[in-house]
Structure 1
Amino acid sequence: MAVFLQLLMTPWLIILMKNFARSVPYEITESGKMDGADDFKIFITLILPMLKPALATVGLFLALGYWNEWYNSMLYLGSAVTYKPLQYYLYSIINTAAQLKSSMAGAAITITDLPSNTLKMATAVVATGPIIFLYPFVQRYFITGITIGAVKG
C-alpha cells in the first residue's frame, strides 16, 4: 500500500484539474438547470464529458508515475513480496551487471565481454515500450480538448 498510495494524487495534478474545471463555462451548468436537471445529472452529462481531456492527462501522468516508480518499491517492498514492479527488476538487473563488471575487473575475463551499454539500452526499450503504446489511446482526448467550444460568444 505504501508504494501505491503515494502516487495516487499529487498536488500538481490537483492544481491541473482545478484550473481545467474552472475553464468550464458557467453557462453549461445554467443551461442544464434550465432544462430541469439536478446537480448530479449536470455533472455526469454535461461537465464530465468536457473534463475528459484533463482526466486523460491526469491518467497519463499517473500511469507514467506508476510505471517509472522503482525507488519506493526498493524502499518499502521487502524480499518476502513476490510481485514487484518491472522497473525494480530492470534496476536490479543493471545493478547486478555493474557489480559483476566491477568484480571481474581483476579476473582473467576481459571487461569488454560483459554487457553494459547494450543491457542499459535493452532495459530502456523495455521500460518505454508500454508507455509508447499507451499514448495513442490517450492522444484523441488531447485533440478533443483543444477543439472543445461548447458556448458560442
Structure 2
Amino acid sequence: MHTKEDKIFQFIGHAVMIFLSFCAVVPMILLLMSSVTDNNTLISNGYSFIPEKFSLYAYEYIFKTGSAVIHAYGISILLTAAGTLLSLAVTTLLAYSLSKPGLPGRNFLSFYVFFTMLFSGGLVPTYMNYTNVFGLKNTFLALLIPGLVTNGFYILLMKSYFVSSIPGEITEAALIDGASEFQTFSRVALPLAKPIVATIGLFSGIGYWNDWQNGYIYLTKRTDLYSIQNLLNRMIQNIQYLSQNTANVRNADVGLASIPSVSIRMAMAVVGILPVVLIYPFIQSNFVKGITLGGVKG
C-alpha cells in the first residue's frame, strides 16, 4: 500500500520526467518545422513551430544529387555496424580480462587504460602515425580504426560491471563444470552483462554515426568514402563559401538566390539524425530486457 509520501514522491518524479522529456522533444519539433519552412520566410520572421510558408526545397536541394546521398548513407551504415561490433568485441574481451583478479599485470593494464583517458598524443602525432606508419589515409579503415582505440572509458565501465554485478560464484561454477574461460565469458558473463553491452553499443554506434572529423582529416582524395556527416559538412561549407564570396563569383547573386542558406542547415540536421531517432526505440528495449536476465538463484 502506497503512503501519502510515496504518492507525493511519484508525482514529483513524474512531473520532473515529463518536464525533461518536454525539453528534449521541443527542440526536435522546432528543428523539423524549421526545415520545412520557406527559406526567405525563415530569414524574415525567424523560427516558428508552425511553418508560415511550407516548403520542401531544402530537402530537394540536398537530395538533388540523390546517388551521392544514398551512397553516403550506405557508408555511414556500414561504418556504424562494423565499428559498433568491433568496438564491442574489443571492449568486452579486454574488460572481462581486467576483471579477473588472477590476471598477471592486471593493475598495470588497468592503469594503462585509465591513463589514455587523461592524456592523448594530440592531433598531429595521431595523424602522422595513422598516415605514415599505418598508411590509413584515404581508406575506409581511417574512419574505423581511430574509434576502436579511444574507448578507455567504456572498457573501465564494463570492467566495473563485470566485477560488481556478476557474482563470482556463477563464473566459478561454470569453470568447475568444465567450461573453458572463453566459454564462461561468452555463455555466462556476456549474457548477464547485456544491459551494459547494449548501453556501450548504443554509445559507440552514435559516436560512429555522428563522426565527421576522421573523414575530414584523413579523406583528402577519396570523397567516395564520405559518410553522410562528411557529405553534409562539405555541402554546408560550399554554401558558406558562396555566401562569403559573392563579389568574386560571376552571377553569384542569381545562384545564391536559389540556395536555401538557412533552412538547409535545419534539413541537414534532420537528415543526419533521422536514422538514429528511428532506430533508438528498438535499441532502447534491450535495456529493459537485459535488466531482467538471470542472477544468482537461491
TM-score range, shorter chain: 0.7 to 0.9
The answer to whether the aligner puts 1:135 opposite 2:276 as a matched pair is no
Match of 1:146 in 2: 291
Match of 1:5 in 2: 145
Quote how far apart the aligned CAs of 1:111 are.
6.8
The alignment's C-alpha RMSD in Å is: 2.6
Amino acid at match of 1:31: A
Match of 1:38 in 2: 180
Quote how far apart the aligned CAs of 1:41 are.
2.7
Instruction: Report if the CA contact (8 A) 2:192-2:294 is conserved.
Output: no
Q: Distance in 1 between matches of 2:222 and 2:257?
A: 35
Secondary structure of 2:241's aligned partner = helix
Match of 2:158 in 1: 17
TM-score normalised to the size of structure 2? 0.46
Q: Is the alpha carbon distance of 1:105 and 1:125 closer, same or farther for their aligned partners in structure 2, counting shifts above 3 Å? A: farther
Q: Is the alpha carbon distance of 1:118 and 1:35 closer, same or farther for their aligned partners in structure 2, counting shifts above 3 Å? A: same
Q: Distance in 2 between matches of 1:65 and 1:31?
A: 37
Instruction: Report if the CA contact (8 A) 1:70-1:87 is conserved.
Output: yes
TM-score normalised to the size of structure 1? 0.83
The answer to whether the aligner puts 1:74 opposite 2:216 as a matched pair is yes
Gaps of 5+ in 2: 1-140
Secondary structure of 1:82's aligned partner = helix
Q: Distance in 2 between matches of 1:6 and 1:125?
A: 26
Deviates more, 1:75-84 or 1:105-114: 105-114
Q: Distance in 1 between matches of 2:162 and 2:223?
A: 40
Q: Distance in 2 between matches of 1:87 and 1:109?
A: 28
Instruction: Report if the CA contact (8 A) 1:8-1:62 is conserved.
Output: no
Match of 1:51 in 2: 193
Deviates more, 1:111-120 or 1:14-23: 111-120
Quote how far apart the aligned CAs of 1:149 are.
5.2
Amino acid at match of 1:3: L
Quote how far apart the aligned CAs of 1:74 are.
0.9
Quote how far apart the aligned CAs of 1:125 are.
0.7
Quote how far apart the aligned CAs of 1:34 are.
4.6
Q: Distance in 2 between matches of 1:69 and 1:38?
A: 38
Secondary structure of 2:179's aligned partner = coil
Q: Is the alpha carbon distance of 1:150 and 1:67 closer, same or farther for their aligned partners in structure 2, counting shifts above 3 Å? A: same
Gaps of 5+ in 1: none
* Number of positions where the alignment pairs a residue of Structure 1 with one of Structure 2: 153
Q: Distance in 1 between matches of 2:255 and 2:144?
A: 42
Q: Distance in 2 between matches of 1:121 and 1:135?
A: 21
The answer to whether the aligner puts 1:89 opposite 2:234 as a matched pair is no
Q: Distance in 1 between matches of 2:195 and 2:143?
A: 27
Match of 1:121 in 2: 266
Q: Distance in 1 between matches of 2:221 and 2:206?
A: 25
Amino acid at match of 1:19: S
Quote how far apart the aligned CAs of 1:112 are.
7.0
Deviates more, 1:80-89 or 1:115-124: 80-89
Deviates more, 1:137-146 or 1:123-132: 137-146
What per-residue deviation string (whole Å, max 9, x for no partner) do you get for residues 31-69 of structure 1?
A: 324544333332222111112222222221111111111
Secondary structure of 2:263's aligned partner = helix
